């Protein structure tokens, strides 16, 4: 017998709110987290705005010694994990009696530490670079630092499938719980604002000068964001035994690779991913009540995602609300789909669908219901969470409203 997999804790750190309640309240009220970048000098860039988290204090979640030994992405990961534990309402001592896996997705990893190396090297010379640099910058450190902080000794993996990585972590966590390999999974993603990422997306000419307008005819591109989110997964049996609140059930997932283009998603690959998810979850297209879109606000991405949705859902596509919360957060890279997964769980739990803000002019090539500018109240039994990444890594996770019985 395979376990049913449920979500029993949510933790999120974002530019619009820290903690699931502040985050979701801001989402459904269409609050924008976009502001002028302050973490480094952007005077030489044409683009100067992004979704920075302005009010995150790592000392709220860890010691000053810990903060000195890790980058901002790890700090965000520990913060969102702490919030998820608190939300689940279980003590750390009780939690550690069980088998725990820590799975984090990321795009940039600890890019801030790489930047620190460059700064010390240029200013002081190679012999003055911190000798412990290498132990603070390796690609596995997001999940390692979470494990070290909480003393979790089970499976510990970073999944670097870029902007789809949060969904990949949730998908692998689903498999681990479903197959009874672990009792709890901390599944999520984390990425911090960095010069490296900001320069990269600027050079791709993919960034908007001011606002992100997914699916709008006059959209000008994406905006970079940062943040972290964690979903705590467990079996339904264990959740009931320990009397956890259940936000949603994870029904399944779909993955695909376009093998098409480094930066432009393929409608065929996206469609395959959604079809794989529907098949894995054993649901029909007409059972889907909401799609959380990847929706970056770039010309080609939104067009191709809308095309894929039409090919999968046929005439039913116009009846499905499809919103992009990147319109409020910017693109949080490896954290994006984990943050969007939190949004999906709360949409399913509360029957409220967040909007796509900044929407003004309909695009005939994106004639989906993008929930323009205002949240809607609607029964959400099943939600899909879409995420795509450079290189063509596609992922889709299916969440279902939990009902006893």
| Structure confidence at residue 158 as a pLDDT band (50, 70, 90) | very high
Q: Which residues are catalytic?
A: 163, 294, 331
| Structure confidence at residue 138 as a pLDDT band (50, 70, 90) | confident
How many Å apart are CA 342 and CA 86, to the nearest integer? 15
Q: What is the pLDDT of residues 28-74, one digit of tens each?
A: 999 999 999 999 999 999 999 999 999 999 999 999 999 988 999 99
Average pLDDT of the chain to the nearest whole number: 94
Question: Is 204 or 371 the better-scoring residue by pLDDT?
Answer: 371
Question: Is 196 or 179 the better-scoring residue by pLDDT?
Answer: 179
Query: Which single residue is written with the structure tokens 């205002």?
Result: 374
Average pLDDT over residues 359-367: 98
DSSP, collapsed to helix, strand or coil, labels residue 3 as coil
- Give percent of the chain with pLDDT exceeding 90: 83
Q: Looking at residue 305, what is its pLDDT?
A: 97
Whether the pTM exceeds 0.75: the reply is yes
Q: What is the pLDDT of residues 281-325, one digit of tens each?
A: 999 999 999 999 999 999 999 999 999 999 999 999 999 999 999
Query: Residue 120 above 80 pLDDT?
Result: no
Residues in CB range of 118: below 8 A, 6 or more apart: none
- Give percent of the chain with pLDDT exceeding 70: 99
Kindly state the tokens that stand for 199.
Answer: 């320069």
How many Å apart are CA 111 and CA 137, to the nearest integer? 8
| Structure confidence at residue 204 as a pLDDT band (50, 70, 90) | confident
Query: Residue 277 above 70 pLDDT?
Result: yes
Q: What is the CATH number of domain 5-241?
A: 3.40.47.10
Query: Residue 134 above 80 pLDDT?
Result: no
| Structure confidence at residue 205 as a pLDDT band (50, 70, 90) | confident
- For the domain made up of 251-400, the CATH class stated in words is alpha beta
- Give ranges for CATH 3.40.47.10 in the chain: 5-241, 251-400
Average pLDDT over residues 68-88: 95
Task: Please state, in angstroms and as integers, the Cα–Cα distance from residue 329 to each residue in 39, 235, 369, 392, following that order.
Answer: 17, 31, 20, 22
Q: What are phi and psi of 353, to 5 degrees?
A: -110, 120
| Structure confidence at residue 99 as a pLDDT band (50, 70, 90) | very high
Query: Residue 115 above 90 pLDDT?
Result: no
Query: Residue 119 above 80 pLDDT?
Result: no
| Structure confidence at residue 118 as a pLDDT band (50, 70, 90) | confident
Name the percent of the chain in helix, strand, coil, to the closest 5.
40, 20, 35
Q: Count other Cβ atoms within 10 Å, centred on residue 195.
A: 18
Q: Count other Cβ atoms within 10 Å, centred on residue 42.
A: 17
Q: Looking at residue 405, what is its pLDDT?
A: 59
């Amino acid at each position: 017998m395979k376990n049913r997999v449920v979500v029993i804790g949510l933790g999120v750190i974002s530019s619009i709110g820290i903690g699931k309640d502040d985050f979701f309240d801001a989402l459904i009220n269409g609050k924008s987290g976009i502001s002028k970048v302050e973490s480094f000098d952007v005077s030489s860039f044409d683009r100067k705005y992004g979704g920075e988290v302005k009010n995150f204090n790592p000392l709220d979640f860890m010691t000053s010694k810990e903060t000195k030994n890790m980058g901002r992405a790890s700090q965000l990961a520990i913060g969102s994990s702490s919030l998820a534990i608190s939300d689940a309402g279980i003590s750390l001592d009780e939690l550690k009696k069980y088998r725990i896996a820590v799975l984090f997705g990321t795009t940039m990893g600890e890019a801030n530490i790489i930047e620190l190396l460059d700064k010390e090297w240029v200013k002081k010379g190679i012999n003055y670079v911190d000798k412990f640099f290498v132990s603070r910058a390796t690609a596995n450190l997001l999940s390692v630092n979470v494990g070290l902080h909480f003393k979790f000794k089970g499976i510990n993996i970073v999944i670097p499938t870029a902007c789809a990585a949060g969904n990949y972590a949730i998908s692998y966590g689903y498999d681990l719980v479903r197959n009874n390999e672990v009792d709890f999974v901390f599944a999520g993603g984390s990425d911090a604002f960095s010069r490296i990422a900001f320069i990269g997306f600027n050079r791709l000419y993919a960034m908007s000068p001011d606002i992100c307008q997914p699916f709008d005819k006059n959209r000008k591109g994406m905006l970079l964001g940062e943040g972290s989110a964690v979903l705590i997964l467990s079996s339904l049996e264990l959740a009931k035994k320990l009397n956890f609140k259940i936000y949603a059930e994870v029904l399944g997932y779909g993955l695909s690779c376009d093998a098409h283009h480094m930066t432009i998603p393929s409608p065929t690959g996206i469609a395959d991913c959604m079809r794989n998810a529907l098949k894995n979850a054993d649901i029909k297209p007409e059972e889907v009540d909401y799609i959380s879109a990847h929706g970056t606000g770039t010309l080609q991405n939104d067009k191709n995602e809308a095309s894929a949705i039409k090919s999968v859902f046929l005439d039913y596509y116009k009846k499905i609300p499809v919103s992009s919360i990147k319109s409020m957060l910017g693109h949080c890279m490896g954290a994006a789909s984990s943050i969007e997964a939190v949004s999906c769980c709360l949409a399913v739990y509360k029957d409220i669908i967040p909007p796509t803000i900044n929407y003004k002019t309909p695009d005939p090539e994106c004639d989906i219901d993008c929930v323009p500018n205002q949240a809607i109240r609607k029964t959400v039994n099943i939600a899909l969470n879409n995420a795509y990444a450079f290189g063509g890594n596609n992922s889709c996770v299916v969440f279902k409203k939990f009902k006893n019985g």
